Amino acid sequence: DAQAQWAASTKNADVRWEQKECFAQGWTPGKDLEECTRSNIQGFPTLKIFGGTAPAQGEEFDGGRSVPNILSWV
């Protein structure tokens, strides 16, 4: 999960997976910016799965942000 910690959409998400900080307050580089760049993160919040049959940059989830939708993707 990649996000801007201060963004309203991030604060409203019920996140239960590892979080990466791409940008900090004021769009300054976050502690995980390099990893976010390698993973091609372009919007927030972004949900991606890595490993298994997913491509190296991860497989992005584009479905609804409800628990049933996310669980059916995983």
What are the angstrom distances between the C-alpha of 52 and each of 36, 44, 74? Answer: 19, 24, 11
Q: Is the dihedral of CA 14, 16, 17, 19 positive or negative?
A: positive
Where are the chain's structural domains?
2-73
Query: According to the model, what pLDDT value does residue 58 have?
Result: 85
Query: What is the tens place of the pLDDT at every residue in 2-61?
Result: 566 666 666 665 545 667 778 787 778 888 888 888 888 887 788 888 877 888 888 899
Query: According to the model, what pLDDT value does residue 1 have?
Result: 53
Query: What is the tens place of the pLDDT at every residue in 1-19?
Result: 556 666 666 666 554 566 7
Beta bridge partners of 29: 23
Query: According to the model, what pLDDT value does residue 18 have?
Result: 67
Whole-angstrom distance, CA of residue 38 vs CA of residue 35: 5
Residue with tokens 């890595």: 50
Query: According to the model, what pLDDT value does residue 23 have?
Result: 79
Q: How many residues does the chain have?
A: 74
